[in-house]
Chain A
Amino acid sequence: MKQDVWDALKNLREKAERVYQERMGQGQIFIQVGSATCEHAAGAIEVADEFRKHIAASGRNDIILRRTGCTGRCSREPIVGVFRAGEMPIKYQLVNRELVHKIFTQHVLGGEPLLDHVLDGPIERLSKYEILNCGSLRCGWKGEQICGGPMANQLKAMGVPPDVCRVTSASCFGACSIELAGKCTHILVRPQNVLYRITSLADLEEVVREHIGKGQIVERLRVKEEPVSQDFFELYGEIAFFNRQTRIALRHNGIIDPTSIEEYFHYRGFEALAKVLAQDDPDWIVDEVTRSKLRGRGGGGFPTGQKWALARKSPEKTRYIICNADEGDPGAFMDRSMLESDPFNVIEGMIIGAFAIGAHRGFVYVRAEYPLAVERVDHAIRMCREWGVLGKNILNSGFDFDIEIRLGAGAFVCGEETALIHSIEGERGQPRIRPPYPTEVGLWGKPTVINNVETFANIPAIIIYGADWFSRIGTNASGGTKVFALAGKVKQTGLVEVPIGITLREVVMDIGGGCPNDKKVKAVQTGGPAGGCIPASMLDLRVDFDTLNKAGSIMGSGGMIVLDEDDCMVDIAKFFMRFSEDESCGKCTPCREGTTRMVEILERITTGKADESDLEKLERLAKLVRKASLCGLGRAAPNPVLSTLTHFREEYLAHVRDKRCPAKKCTALIHYEIDPEKCVGCTACARNCPVECISGERRQPHVIDQSRCIKCGRCFQVCRFDAVMRS
Chain B
Amino acid sequence: MNPHCASSTNNWPEVKAVAERLLGDDVVQFIEECRKTSEPNSYLIAVLHKVQSKFGYLGASHLDAVAQLMQIPAAKVSGVASFYHYFRLQPRGKFIINLCLGTACYVKGADRLAEKLKEELGIDFGETTSDGMFTLEGARCLGACSLAPVMLINDDMHGTVTPDQIPIILDRYLKKAKQETASKSAS
Contacts and interface: CB of A to CB of B under 8 A. Distances in A.
Interface of A: 37-38, 40-42, 74-75, 77, 327-333, 336, 368-371, 406-412, 423-430, 444, 485, 487-489, 493-494, 525, 528, 559, 561, 563, 567, 572, 575-576, 579, 583, 585, 712
A328 B150 contact: no
B139 A38 contact: no
A408 B85 CA distance: 10
8 contacts: A41-B147, A409-B85, A428-B83, A488-B103, A489-B108, A559-B103, A576-B103, A579-B140
A230 B83 CA distance: 46
Contacts of B129: none
A329 B101 CA distance: 11
A428 B148 CA distance: 31
B159 A41 contact: yes
Interface in B88-108: 101-108
B151 to A, nearest CB: 10
Give the most central of B107, B140, B142: most A CB within 10 Å.
B107
B157 A330 contact: no
B3 interface: no
A568 to B, nearest CB: 10
Contacts of B107: 488-489, 561, 563, 567, 572
Contacts of A428: 79-80, 83
Given A425-B42, A494-B146, A331 B155 contact: no
Contact of A330 (B44, B87, B103, B158): B103
Nearest to A424: B42
B46 interface: yes
A369 B145 contact: no
Contact of B103 (A74, A409, A410, A575): A575
Contacts of A74: 144-147
B62 interface: no
Contacts of B87: 409-410
Given A74-B144, A425-B41, A487 B104 contact: yes
Contacts of B148: 487-488
Given A42-B147, A411-B83, A427-B80, A444 B39 contact: yes
B123 to A, nearest CB: 18
Contact of B104 (A42, A423, A488): A488
B183 to A, nearest CB: 22
Contacts of A579: 140
B134 to A, nearest CB: 19
B86 A330 contact: no
Nearest to A423: B45
A579 B39 CA distance: 33
Interface of B: 39, 41-46, 48-49, 79-80, 83-87, 101-108, 115, 139-148, 150, 155-159
A41 B144 contact: yes
Given A409-B85, A411-B85, A493 B43 contact: no
Contacts of A487: 103-104, 145-146, 148
A407 B83 contact: no
B103 A37 contact: no
A336 B143 contact: yes
A410 B82 CA distance: 11
A328 B159 contact: no
Given A74-B144, A74-B146, A368 B41 contact: no
Contacts of B102: 330-331
Contacts of A40: 157
Contacts, number: 141
Given A41-B157, A428-B79, A428-B80, A406 B45 contact: yes
A429 to B, nearest CB: 7
A430 B48 CA distance: 18
A660 B132 CA distance: 43
A365 to B, nearest CB: 10
B77 to A, nearest CB: 10
A487 B150 CA distance: 13
Contacts of A368: 49, 86
Nearest to A564: B107
A328 to B, nearest CB: 6
Give the most central of A330, A444, A575: most B CB within 10 Å.
A330
Give the most central of A42, A488, A559, A579: most B CB within 10 Å.
A488
A525 B43 contact: no
A42 to B, nearest CB: 6
A500 to B, nearest CB: 22
Contacts of A494: 146
Contact of A41 (B83, B105, B108, B158): B158
Contact of A429 (B84, B101, B106, B142): B84
Contacts of B158: 41
B104 A412 contact: no
Contacts of A583: 140
Contacts of B147: 38, 41-42, 74-75, 77
A368 B157 CA distance: 16
Contacts of A330: 101-106, 140-141
B146 A407 contact: no
Given A406-B45, A426-B43, A488-B104, 20 more contacts: A74-B144, A328-B141, A330-B140, A332-B145, A336-B143, A369-B142, A406-B42, A406-B46, A407-B49, A410-B84, A423-B45, A425-B41, A426-B39, A427-B80, A485-B145, A485-B146, A487-B103, A561-B103, A561-B107, A567-B107
A410 B86 contact: yes
A583 B84 CA distance: 10
A411 B139 CA distance: 11
A328 B84 CA distance: 13
Contacts of B139: 369
A331 B144 CA distance: 8
A-B complex: 7 closest residue pairs judged by Cβ atoms = A74-B146, A330-B102, A41-B157, A410-B86, A409-B84, A410-B85, A330-B141
A426 B150 contact: no
Given A368-B86, A410-B84, A411-B85, A493 B142 contact: no
A369 B137 CA distance: 13
A38 B45 contact: no
Given A423-B45, A426-B44, A427-B80, A333 B159 contact: no
